[in-house]
């Protein structure tokens, strides 16, 4: 599809990407409401006025980052929920998926966690909308089985929100367990990669698994035990 997009548009999207990347990098140490326009353009190596060719605002860039961070998540649910051979394996797969997400895109996850209740309204609303759509998909995936067991749609939605919130919670816990460039600590004992204390990561994963296990235990006995 699409006939290779022309040299003009290609260059434009290239600097747009650079702006997004620079913004995301700077947002690891500060929040969006304090991130300056000039700060971003300075990192990219472009004139401040060039910013306006791509974004109206800083919050505009923020919304774009939200879509980039959470947009690719929508397929993931069905993939994980498809390979379920029992509760425990589904839980393991879920926690592992969250861990991999945090390991692969720490800056994106940190951005979402930080701006979910941050000071920029449009960004907050974009995140809320995206997470709500995410909960919709989780609910949709659980609906067939649970309604067959006599669950109301309201209760299914309630459970889906609990799952989504717990996933976000787990993701931020993973983030705190593997700090990116935490100043104060000069370096790692293991100079391999930037993954923080591996034992702390395992502890977070173990806690998350047990919590999900407890929740699914409650789910099995809902209005039947």
Binding site for a copy of itself (CB under 8 A): 29-31, 33-34, 110, 113-114, 116-119, 128, 155, 158-159, 161-162, 165-166, 169, 172, 176, 207, 210-211, 214-222, 225
- Crossing angle for the helix pair 153-177 and 87-104, nearest 10 degrees? 50
Q: Which of 1, 2, 49, 183 binds DNA (CB under 7 A)?
A: 49
Contacts of residue 81, defined as CB under 8 A and 6 or more positions apart, other chains included, come to 90, 141, 142
Q: Which of 57, 92, 165, 185 binds DNA (CB under 7 A)?
A: 57
Which sign, positive or negative, has the C-alpha torsion 79, 81, 85, 90? positive
28 in helix, strand or coil? Answer: coil
Q: Among residue numbers 3 through 32, which ones bind DNA (CB under 7 A)? A: 6-9, 11-12, 14-15
| Contact call for residue 189 and DNA (CB under 7 A) | no
Q: Count Cβ atoms within 10 A of the Cβ of residue 76 and give its class: 0-12 exposed, 13-18 middle, 19 or more buried.
A: middle
Residue with smaller CB distance to a copy of itself, 78 or 220:
220
Give the shortest CB-92-to-a copy of itself separation in angstroms: 16
Residues found near DNA in the complex (CB under 7 A)? 6-9, 11-12, 14-15, 36-39, 42, 45-54, 57-58
């Amino acid at each position: 599809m699409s006939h290779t997009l022309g040299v003009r548009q290609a260059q434009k999207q290239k600097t747009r990407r650079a702006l997004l990347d620079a913004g995301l990098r700077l947002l690891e140490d500060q929040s969006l409401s304090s991130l300056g326009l000039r700060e971003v353009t300075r990192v990219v190596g472009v004139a401040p006025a060039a910013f306006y060719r791509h974004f109206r605002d800083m919050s505009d860039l923020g919304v774009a980052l939200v879509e980039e961070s959470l947009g690719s998540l929508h397929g993931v649910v069905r993939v994980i929920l498809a390979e379920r051979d029992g509760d425990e394996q589904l839980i393991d797969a879920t926690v592992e998926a969250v861990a991999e997400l945090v390991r692969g895109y720490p800056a994106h996850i940190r951005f979402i966690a930080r701006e979910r209740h941050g000071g920029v309204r449009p960004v907050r609303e974009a995140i809320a909308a995206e997470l709500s759509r995410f909960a919709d998909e989780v609910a949709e995936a659980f609906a067939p089985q649970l309604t067959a067991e006599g669950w109301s749609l309201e209760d299914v939605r309630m459970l889906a929100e609990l799952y989504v919130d717990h996933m976000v919670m787990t993701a931020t816990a993973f983030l705190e367990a593997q700090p990116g460039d935490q100043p104060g600590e000069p370096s790692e004992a293991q100079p391999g990669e930037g993954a923080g204390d591996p034992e702390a990561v395992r502890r977070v994963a173990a806690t998350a698994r047990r919590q999900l296990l407890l929740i699914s235990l409650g789910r099995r006995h809902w209005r039947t035990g």
